[in-house]
Amino acid sequence: MIVHVRSHTGEKPYECNQCGKAFSYPSILQYHKRTHTGEKPYECNQCGKAFAQSSNLQCHKIIHTGEKNYECNQCDKAFARSAHLQYYRKTHTGEKPYECNQCGKAFATPRDLQYHKRTHTGEKPYECSQCAKAFTRPRYLQYHKRTHTGEKPYECNHCGKAFAQHSHLQNHKRIHTGEKPYECKQCGKAFAQHSHLQYHNSIHTGEKPYECNQWGKAFARPSDLQYHKRIHTGEKPYECNQCGKAFATHSHLQYHKRTHTGEKLYECKQCGKTFSYHTVVQRHKRTHTGEKPYECSQCGKAFSYHIVLQRHKITHTGEKPYECNQCGKAFTRHSGLQYHKRIHTGEKPYECNQCGKAFAQRRYLRYHKITHTGEKHYECNQCGKAFARPSYLQYHKRNHNGEKPY
């Protein structure tokens, strides 16, 4: 009876003597203490992975069996856990009953609201014992630890690629199936990942609630703000173990590693060209279709890529926030400043593996390699003439339309 009453009163008499966090029941306090001690007494007899709670082990075992008993009656999507189905159903109803009293943002679950509140307080209670990096959620800490161990327990049965997180494997599988279950209600554009739909929605709303307290620049995602802050601090925590080059984000390190392996997983079905990244092949396809979905609200000019639209907008404002601390020259893009700095340092990190010639920018190396291969992927749809670079094709097209911009 006492236990039931606490669920209504919110009473939390059991306090952790390490961090002061309080709990309604002694059993939950015992589970919590394991976040400090690292104790994981429940081990999977198939893969050896250990867990702090028996319930977590039971949920994990479903990964091996593939069992998904809980099915959505609206779209037939199935889940391993009843709770996951309940949360997922809210994507159909749009129900978000838990609202942040600081910014008004609403969430489908109370736990998501609690985690969100930490973006305001800055609280990061889960710390890595190896590098002291801290996180807002325990699972983020678990994922991070794999960057130290290199563990990738989730493997794609189609291509053999392995992942550190199960959700990354699920997202990856959609590359093979072409499934895009998340559709924008405003423009109908579909996405393979729910997070990508959330980011896309900010294009329509223009909402950017996360602001840099140094420049005032605002972002749609908290992760983008964190990455941006590294421009100020110069922090590059992700280092390549082959060449020592360091990066501000883990994804950039993963992309960089492919320059060593030469791995190109994604192929264009129209011209057969292969790419290291899925996003790049999607963008490349627009060279065939001519699609330009991103339009400037000031002048109406349209672009194939969202990032190019963002850069274009600066031509209206004249803003150049990135300044060289050696000569004072300013740039509209951070990458432009980085490339410029190589004029002072003489650094040319991109070397041709055929002739040894080195370049300051990766794209110059790509263009140079064409002199060895003779490749010409960019073809004029009016006369059939082919070019090695997209810019050459654009210049050529002006001969047909009579355009003389200069």
Strand partners, 379: 386
User: 311 near 329, Cβ under 8 Å?
Assistant: no
The DSSP-derived string for 211-234 is E-TTT--EESSHHHHHHHHHHHH-
**pLDDT score of 403:** 67
Question: CA-to-CA distance for 146 and 131, rounded, in angstroms?
Answer: 12
**pLDDT score of 31:** 80
**pLDDT score of 58:** 79
Q: 78-79 and 70-71: which strand pairing?
A: antiparallel
Rounded to a whole number of angstroms, the distance between the first and last alpha carbons of the chain is 82
User: 209 near 222, Cβ under 8 Å?
Assistant: no
**pLDDT score of 1:** 44
8-39: pLDDT as tens digits = 556 788 888 888 888 888 888 888 887 787 78
Question: CA-to-CA distance for 164 and 168, rounded, in angstroms?
Answer: 8
**pLDDT score of 8:** 55
Q: What is the pTM of this model?
A: 0.39
**pLDDT score of 57:** 81
**pLDDT score of 179:** 86
Q: What is the DSSP letter of 388?
A: S
Q: What is the DSSP letter of 274?
A: E
Q: What is the DSSP letter of 161?
A: -
What is the block-wise mean pLDDT of the chain (406 residues), using blocks of 10 residues? 51 82 82 80 81 79 74 77 77 81 85 86 86 85 85 85 84 85 85 81 79 79 81 82 82 79 75 75 80 85 82 82 86 83 88 88 83 82 84 84 66
For residue 267, the number of C-alpha atoms closer than 13 Å in the C-beta half-sphere is 5
Is residue 192 classed exposed, middle or buried when 0-12, 13-18 and 19+ CB atoms within 10 A define those classes? buried
Enclosing H/E stretch for 318: none
**pLDDT score of 361:** 84
The DSSP-derived string for 75-94 is T--EESSHHHHHHHHHHHH-
Question: CA-to-CA distance for 293 and 291, rounded, in angstroms?
Answer: 6
